[in-house]
Amino acid sequence: MSDTLELAKELISRPSVTPEDAGCQALMMERLSALGFDTEPMNFGDTQNFWARHGSEDPLFCFAGHTDVVPPGPEDAWDSPPFEPTIRDGLLYGRGAADMKGSLAAMISATESFVKKHPDHNGSIAYLITSDEEGPATHGTVKVIETLELRDEKIDWCLVGEPSSTEKLADVVKNGRRGSHGCRLVVKGIQGHVAYPHLARNPVHQAMPALAELVAEEWDQGNEFFPPTTFQISNIHAGAGATNVIPGALEVLFNFRFSTETTHEALEQRVQEILDRHGLDYDIEWTLSGPPFLTAAGALLDAAQQAVQEIMGYSTELSTSGGTSDGRFIAPTGAQVLELGPLNATIHKVNECVGVEDLDNLARIYERLLELLLT
């Protein structure tokens, strides 16, 4: 059993359902301390985080990730217990195997191998690990970054171990992510009896033309790195549960996934202009999960592409698709940020798994990346 596989199994066996860490970070810090890393717990609220650093010089390369996992759901739906790592047919099964304890194990074993070979490497290596990526993400990476910014500790290059691959390991590297901007809209009406509509004001009827316009709107055309911005209604609710009552309010939840061609402020302004043009009486509440970010070119991207080519024997594709990641908190500091990890086919699913061979190859890619950047 390789060091990477052994550590991945140890991490998976700890039921770290967000925001719990279940001892995963202590295990990682112990391994890093043995290498000479300075480890620093940074806990906020109910979230455990740590920052670890080897070296004091620039440039600073950072591995970023999370020890928390989503709930496994009914255990009897799994072919083997979700927190009992099990190998079948060359695959390691368990909650977090792909998202992202496999990546964490590969990071540690790659770092151990690299530092032992290059104890006096150029620059510095750091780890930024949280237990609140799968949850609200309010006391995790964002808080650690705030702390680092206050003491002017800057990350130059950051690799996030999110499962970026689709068909085979490292066939896709995420060099950016779309922004996510959510909204809760309440359109106000006047409740009444359906037989006397002249004595009421139906917010559903009033809102429909405006919502149809929002759905049909072209927000931008995207660019070479990002698809066009999308608008999706995720929930509509109104009424008292009776067919003979005109509702007094309509609640609509919607979300933008937006490109670098626009901003969250511009989207808010355009939405409110449409609502106002339709004469609606409304309250609106916005929640920005994160702006878009892009690492279009530079040393990190060049090294990642070269490492994948050398280790796997094929080129990787750049993509900005998918949801959000903690990269959205790191990129605004000026860091180059990439996501490179295992296949994402089983993440958040029953029988989540990762290829055993993929774990070892991922560690080799990570180690080669360190060599290209820091030697």
Q: Of 151, 203, 117, which is closest to residue 40 (Cα–Cα)?
A: 151
Catalytic: 38? Answer: no
Q: Mean pLDDT, to the nearest integer, of 65-82?
A: 97
The residue type at 13 = S
pLDDT digits (tens, 9 = 90+) for 335-350: 999 999 999 999 999 9
Residue 148 pLDDT greater than 90, yes or no:
yes
User: 68, 132, 156, 371: which one is catalytic?
Assistant: 68
Backbone φ and ψ of 285, nearest 5°? -135, 125
Catalytic: 58? Answer: no
Q: Mean pLDDT, to the nearest integer, of 106-114?
A: 98
The pLDDT-based confidence of 278 (bands split at 50, 70, 90) is: very high
The pLDDT-based confidence of 324 (bands split at 50, 70, 90) is: confident
The pLDDT-based confidence of 296 (bands split at 50, 70, 90) is: confident
User: 20, 21, 133, 156: which one is catalytic?
Assistant: 133
The pair of structure tokens assigned to 252 is 């609509």
Please tell me the pTM assigned to this model: 0.90
